[in-house]
Amino acid sequence: METISIKIVNYSDNPLPSYVTKGAAGMDLRANLGESVLLQPMERQMIPTGIFIELPDGYEAQVRPRSGLAIKQGITCLNSPGTIDSDYRGEIKVILINLSKEEQVINHSDRIAQLVLGKVQQATWELVQQLNETKRGESGFGHTGVH
């Protein structure tokens, strides 16, 4: 598995994001809060992490939900996956929403999301008058044309 070096600033007292197991794809992001946040049902809030990163060109970081938080508390990330571009230098913040029917509390240092790194390719458009035909053709979203 390839590893890359990424510059990071941590303005929180939480440990740096890290992989919990050898095969993990994501690193846990933790809440950096002065006081706990109460999330009402269907309420969303942006939760700071105190983490700032400098990604190399050609990479992105995605902020993704944590399955444990979703199943246990009904909390997930909006704008998921959230993309952090290589030229962004601001604080990583996570938009959480409470999809449960009860109030939920987010405390300082709670694991609130995962950070997954990936390579990115940029494209250039080639303007044409017609596209090549395929068996699927123009079959709609969620339909592969296979019956």
Q: Is 34 contained in some domain?
A: yes
CATH number for the domain spanning 81: value is 2.70.40.10
What pLDDT, in 10s, does the model give residues 57-90? 999 999 999 999 999 999 999 999 999 999 999 9
Q: Is residue 133 part of a domain?
A: no
- Is the model's pLDDT at 56 over the cut of 70? yes
- pLDDT value of residue 1: 73
Of residues 146 and 123, which shows the higher confidence score? 123
CA–CA gap between residue 4 and residue 14 (Å, rounded): 22
Domain count for the chain: 1
Residue 71 parent element (H or E): helix 67-73
Angle at the Cα of 145 from the Cα atoms of 143 and 147, rounded to 5 degrees: 100
Q: Does pLDDT of 147 surpass 70?
A: no
Q: What is the pLDDT of residues 15-46, one digit of tens each?
A: 999 999 999 999 999 999 999 999 999 999 99
Query: Within 13 Å, how many C-alpha atoms sit on residue 70's CB side?
Result: 10
Average pLDDT value for residue range 45-57: 98
At 143, the pLDDT band (50, 70, 90 cuts) reads low
Structure tokens, 46: 């942006």
Domain housing 97: 7-119
**pLDDT, tens digit (0-9, with 9 covering 90-100), for 94-128:** 999 999 999 999 999 999 999 999 999 999 999 99
Q: Provide the edge-to-edge strand list for the sheet that holds 26-30.
A: 26-30, 111-119, 59-64, 82-84
Residue 65 within a domain: yes
Decide if 42 is inside a domain: yes
Residues 130-143 have a mean pLDDT of: 80
User: Is position 129 within any domain?
Assistant: no
Q: Is position 39 within any domain?
A: yes
Residue 57 is given by DSSP the state T
User: 31 lies in a domain?
Assistant: yes
pLDDT computed for residue 2 by the predictor: 80
pLDDT of 144: 60
Is 133 or 13 the better-scoring residue by pLDDT? 13
Q: What is the pLDDT of residue 145?
A: 52
46 part of a folded domain: yes
